[in-house]
Structure 1
Amino acid sequence: MGLSERDIFGDKVNSKTLKGKILVINFWFVGCAPCVQEIPELNKLVKDYERDSSIVFIAIALDKPWDIKDFLKKRPFYYKIIGDGRLTAKGYDVRAYPTNLVVSPEGKIYFHTAGYSGYSTIHWIKKSIEELKELRTTDGSAESNTQEN
C-alpha cells in the first residue's frame, strides 16, 4: 500500500508502519447512508481484534478532517481515519461506497466488496482475516485468494 498520510488526529500512517500487517480498509464518506449504517458492525470487528497487533483497521474518508471530527462527536468509528482521501480511493479504483478491502501482509488485495451488504460483509472480512492469519502461521506468507462479494 503506497500510503504516506496522517490520520485526522495527526498520527502518521505510512507503508513503513504498516509493513507486514493485515490491513482492513474501509472507503466511506459522512453523507453516505450505507457507509454510516455499517459503522457499528465495523466497530465490533475492531473490538474483536483489538488485541491483535498484526491487524490494522484504516478508514479512508472523502471528507475533510474537521467534518469527520464533527461526525465522530455523534457517532464513534474505531478505525484509524484518514480524511480527504479522494486520491487514495482513486488509486484503489473505488467506484462505490462503502468499499471494504482486506490486504495481505505482502500488500495484495485478498478480499474486496463494494456497497453495503450487512452481516455478509463482516462475515467475509473476518473469514479473510482468519485465512490470512492461518496462511501466515503455516508458511510465513499469504498468497492472494481474492474473493469478491
Structure 2
Amino acid sequence: MQKSQKKWIQYIIMLLILVAIGFILYVSVAKDGEKVVKVGDKAPLFELKNLEGEKVALSDYKGKGVILNFWGTWCNPCKEEMPDLNRMNKIYHSKGVEVLTVHVKDSPQQVKQFFSELPEEVELMVALDGSGDVMRAYNANDLPNTYVIDKNGIIKAHHKGQMSRADIKKYMDMVQP
C-alpha cells in the first residue's frame, strides 16, 4: 500500500472517531440543551401544586427515599400500577420512603375523576405538572416513568414502563434510609 493511501486511511479513521465522539456528546445532552438525568446524578429539584393547590417540592422529601412516578390518566399501565404503588407506600411510609407521583397534562378535576374510578382508594401525593417542565427535566416522556431517589437526593435507579409489586419493593428497599 502506498504511503499516501495509508495517510488517507488514517484521516478517515480519525474523522470517524471524531464523528462518534460528537454523536456521543450530542446524545448525552437533551434537545433543549439541558443535561439528561441519569442514575448517579442529583435529582433535579422542582416545585409544583398538588390537587388542593398546595405547594409540593421535591426538597420537602429531603432525608427520605423517594419513588418519583410520572403518570397520566390516559395511561393504562399507570392505572394498573397505581394500586401497588399505593399499597407499598402505606407499608414503607413509616420506614422513611415516600411515593411522589407527578401527573402530566390533565386538570385536577380529571385526576380526581380518575382516582374515583379505581377499584380501591388511592392516597398518594399527586403533583400536577401541567406545563410538562418537570417531565422534560427528567426526560420522562414515556409513561409510566419512575425515578428512585435516595435520602440525599441522588438518583439510584430509573424504571421505564409499568412496575410490578416486586419492582416497587426492590426500589423501596434500595432507598430506605
Which structure 1 residue ranges, 5 or more long, are not aligned? 137-149
The match for 2:20 is none
Comparing 74-83 with 25-34, greater Cα deviation is found at 74-83
8 Å CA contact 2:150, 2:175 repeated in 1: yes
Alignment: residue pair count: 130
Comparing 36-45 with 5-14, greater Cα deviation is found at 5-14
The match for 2:35 is none
1:123–1:46 CA distance, 2 compared to 1 (3 A): same
Aligned equivalents of 1:43 and 1:80: distance in 2? 10
**Cα-to-partner distance string for 1:4-26 (whole Å, 9 max, x where unaligned):** 12211233212442222211111
Q: 1:128 aligned to 2:171?
A: yes
> 1:123: how far off?
2.1
State the structure with more CA Rg.
2
TM-score, normalising length: structure 2? 0.66
Q: Identity over the aligned pairs, expressed in percent? A: 26
1:68-83 correspondence runs (5 A)? 68-75=111-118, 76-83=121-128
> 1:99: how far off?
0.8
2:68 paired residue among 4, 14, 25: 25
TM-score, normalising length: structure 1? 0.77
- Return structure 1 stretches of 4+ with deviation > 6 angstroms: none
> 1:94: how far off?
0.8
1:73–1:3 CA distance, 2 compared to 1 (3 A): same
Aligned equivalents of 1:90 and 1:34: distance in 2? 20
2:101 paired residue among 55, 59, 72: 59
8 Å CA contact 2:89, 2:97 repeated in 1: no
Aligned equivalents of 2:170 and 2:150: distance in 1? 13
The match for 2:155 is 109
Which structure 2 residue ranges, 5 or more long, are not aligned? 1-43
AA at the equivalent of 1:89: M
SS in 1 for 2:151: coil
> 1:90: how far off?
0.7
Aligned equivalents of 1:98 and 1:91: distance in 2? 15
> 1:51: how far off?
2.3
The match for 1:142 is none
SS in 2 for 1:67: helix
1:92 paired residue among 126, 132, 138: 138
2:87 paired residue among 37, 44, 57: 44
1:25–1:15 CA distance, 2 compared to 1 (3 A): closer
> 1:126: how far off?
1.9
